[in-house]
Amino acid sequence: MKINKYSSVWVAVLGIVAGILLVLTVQKYDERKGITKITGDRWRKFDLVLQSVSENYVDTIAYDEVTEAAIVAALSKLDPHTIYMPPVELEESEVELAGNFDGIGIQFNVPNDTAIVLEVIPGGPSEKIGLQQGDRLLKVGDKTIAGVNFPQDSMVRRMKGPAGTKVTITVQRGDEVIPFEITRDKIPVNSIDAYFMLNDTTGYIRLSKFARTTTTEFVAASASLLAEGMKYLIFDLRDNTGGYFDQALNLSNLFLDKGDKIVYTEGLHKKREDYDADGRGFMKNIKLSVLISEGSASSSEIFAGAIQDNDRGVIFGRRSFGKGLVQEPVYFSDGSGVRVTVARFYTPSGRCIQKPYSEDYQYDILKRYSDGEMVDVDSIKVNKDEVFSTAGGRTVYGGGGIVPDVFVPMDTTRASNFYVQCNKKATTMRFASSFFDSHRAELSSIEDFDSLLKYLDGASLDKAFLSFALAKDGLKPANEAEWKLTSTYMLPQIKALVGRYSKLGDKAFYHLYLEIDNTVAEALKPHSIDI
């Protein structure tokens, strides 16, 4: 959207420039004078054009708008990941990977035009002041945010603010409306969504991003699982879009032997730099499987590539995004910045997994859907001109992401019409919050997974959900056969959404949701892959 807005301004600038050049051309042929000579560095012509506009344009120029439009237009001629970021976007991006931010310390969702508190972060200012799971957010300060289609990102911005400042959050709890004055503080942001044992020997860790605190979090989570008897780890990097380069190196190093290559980088202005494991990682003897998807990118692909090329573990899922570039930030005094691609990275076998630039680059994932790649392994596009070998001699390919060792198709067979209609109206999410309202005391008292599972199994959630769907949304299965098909897929999701309202939070959600996760199920099966 922003590029389109800027593009119109840029077209106007080009029109002005064309007029100036035309005048100069006429002068050249009529009077042989007035020609501006281009000398100096490669950007001199660009400077001269803008200077000419500044000195000759008929009206007052909005310099900030024109400058930003020119920057965006110029960078659009480079790779898709070299981008300009205005102050607000840059700040949000930096905060996401920093490991903490200034705020009030809650997680919420908006199932029905009203934000509902999913989790009150332990030790944070909201917990200290008395906010609770299930509270409905009505106002931030004097601004009503409930029932008015208030944008979710605007809610977040209003709640955030410098540590030490105060904000009043008005909530509805049952029939009561309660204002809370909260003093903002530093809030930790976890990059690990959940970790737990799947069985006596198998651990599971889900990582959402490679943030500044990722290594510290991962070491703590792994140590906890090792203490519980973990011999095999399923490491979930699906939809992890990456983050800090050094964090991918640190995590790879934990699993590899001394001298094993992790990655190397090289660019026109960057000499080749190799990164090898030091052999001191405490996860070297743990059996490993890595889960990836079409949304796994950048640092996720560095890790997956290092594991695959060293034959250290098995990669499950679908072909990863294909971002094999390294960016470095350039910051400006007005709070904006540029992320400039400075190098490509190469996996240990020497492959660059950057997918080709094209006019449809941003729609590549949609194209994979339409080409059938999400459901058929034979539809995966690989570049047969870029063939490489792992340490053990297995064939791998460059030029378009990490192709998994074990392909797991997207499951589209259980999406009945009833399921699709419920998804459109967020019926399951709204049911979960409604169920919590009616069973707050029981859910809030549950502290371990076995107790939660026992409670949910005995809560008759299927009957309660069907009644809710009919009463609130006028939805019901066409017949018993449709519900039988749908329930095996939908009920675990309902349990997961309800379980999230317990003290276990996201741990409960992911643990329950894995019951219908075919990629995890595949990783739990024995596979005869020569590694």
Say how far apart CA 305 and CA 403 lie, in whole Å: 9
516: its two tokens: 């219908």
Q: What is the pLDDT of residue 38?
A: 66
Same domain, yes or no: 260 and 401:
yes
- Amino acid at position 244, single letter: Y
83 DSSP assignment: E
All residues at 6 or more sequence positions from 124 whose CB lies less than 8 Å from its CB, including other chains: 104, 105, 106, 185, 187
Closest CA to 345 of 334, 336, 354, 337: 354
Both tokens assigned to 291: 């889960």
Residue span of the structural domain in which 245 resides: 192-407
| CA 50, chain centre distance (Å) | 38
Q: How far apart are CA 303 and CA 433, in angstroms?
A: 37
Whether residue 434 is found in the same domain as residue 352: no
Has residue 528 been placed in a domain? no
Quote the pLDDT of residue 346: 97
Same domain for 291 and 391, yes or no, is yes
Q: How far is CA 286 from the centre of its chain?
A: 27
Assess contact for 36 and 24: CB atoms under 8 A: yes
> Does a structural domain hold residue 88?
no
Q: Which of residues 155, 188, 221 is at a domain's end?
A: 188
Separation CA 90–CA 83 (nearest Å): 11
Q: Note whether residue 180 is domain-resident.
A: yes
One-letter-per-residue 3-state SS of 458-486: CCCHHHHHHHHHHHHHCCCCCCHHHHHHH
Q: What helix, strand, coil percent values describe the chain, rounded to 5?
A: 40, 20, 40
Question: For the whole model, what pTM was predicted?
Answer: 0.84
- Residues recorded for the chain: 531
219 domain-assigned: yes
- For residues 255 and 283, the answer to whether their CB atoms sit within 8 Å is yes
CA-CA distance, 189 to 204, in Å (whole number)? 20
What is the DSSP secondary-structure string of 145-157?
A: -SSS---HHHHHH
Q: How far apart are CA 419 and CA 487, in angstroms?
A: 9
* Residue ranges of the chain whose pLDDT lies below 70: 1-34, 36-40
Quote the crossing angle between the two packed helices 480-499 and 417-424, to the nearest 10°: 40
Q: Are residues 397 and 422 in the same domain?
A: no
Identify the DSSP state of 403: P
**Residues 512 and 452 both lie in one domain:** yes
Could you give the count of Cα atoms lying within 13 Å of 96 in the half-sphere of its Cβ?
A: 15
- Contact between residue 355 and residue 400 where contact means Cβ atoms under 8 Å apart: yes
Q: Write the burial class of residue 163 (CB in 10 Å: 0-12 exposed, 13-18 middle, 19+ buried).
A: middle
**How confident is the model at residue 496, as a pLDDT?**
95
Token representation of residue 519: 């990629």
Q: Enumerate the β-bridge partners of residue 187.
A: 101
Beta strand 395-397 with 387-389 is antiparallel
Same structural domain for residues 176 and 199? no
Partners of residue 343 on adjacent β-strands: 326
Domain membership flag for residue 525:
no
Task: Please list, in sequence order, all residues whose beta carbon lies within 8 angstroms of the beta carbon of residue 46, skipping any fewer than 6 positions away.
Answer: 74
In a shared domain, residues 365 and 486: no
412 found inside a domain: no
Please tell me which residue in 185, 236, 309, 506 is annotated as part of the active site.
309
Whole-angstrom distance, CA of residue 511 vs CA of residue 198: 8
Clarify whether residues 219 and 353 are in a common domain: yes
pLDDT at residue 325, as a whole number = 95
Euclidean distance between CA atoms 105 and 185, whole angstroms: 8
Pair 326, 272: CB distance under 8 Å: no
**Whole-number Å distance between alpha carbons of 264 and 348:** 7
Say how far apart CA 340 and CA 327 lie, in whole Å: 5
**How far, rounded to the nearest angstrom, does the alpha carbon of residue 245 sit from its chain's CA centroid?**
15
Instruction: Give the active site residue among 261, 323, 355, 495.
Output: 323
Residues 266 and 206 occupy one common structural domain: yes
**Alpha-carbon distance 449 to 193, whole Å?**
16
At 338, the amino acid letter reads V
One-letter-per-residue 3-state SS of 237-302: CCCCCCECHHHHHHHHHHHCCCCCEEEEEEECCEEEEEEECCCCCCCCCCEEEEEECCCCCCHHHH
Please tell me the total count of domains within the chain: 4
At 12 the pLDDT is 40
Q: What is the pLDDT of residue 95?
A: 75
Domain endpoint, select from 345, 373, 407: 407
* Residue ending a domain, choose from 188, 204, 226: 188
Compute the distance between CA of residue 330 and CA of residue 160 in angstroms, rounded to an integer: 25
pLDDT at site 393:
95
Catalytic status, residue 323? yes
User: Residue 448 falls within a domain, yes or no?
Assistant: yes
- pLDDT in the model for residue 483: 94
**pLDDT at position 189:** 80
Q: Is residue 84 part of a domain?
A: no
Contacts of residue 6, defined as CB under 8 A and 6 or more positions apart, other chains included, come to: 68, 69, 72, 73
3-state SS class at 60: coil
- 375 shares a domain with 502: no
Does residue 512 sit in helix, strand or coil? helix
- Partnered with residue 264 across adjacent β-strands are 274, 346
- pLDDT in the model for residue 519: 97
Whether 432 contacts 483, CB under 8 Å: no
Neighbours of 428 (CB within 10 A): 21
pLDDT value, residue 100: 73
> Active-site residue among 298, 349, 416, 487?
298
Owner of token pair 């889960």? 291
Give yes or no for a contact between 119 and 505, defined as CB atoms under 8 angstroms apart.
yes
Token reading at 245: 């380069």
Whether residues 172 and 31 fall in one domain: no
CATH of the domain at 385: 3.90.226.10
Query: Are residues 288 and 395 located together in one domain of the fold?
Result: yes
The Cα–Cα gap between 60 and 69 comes to 16
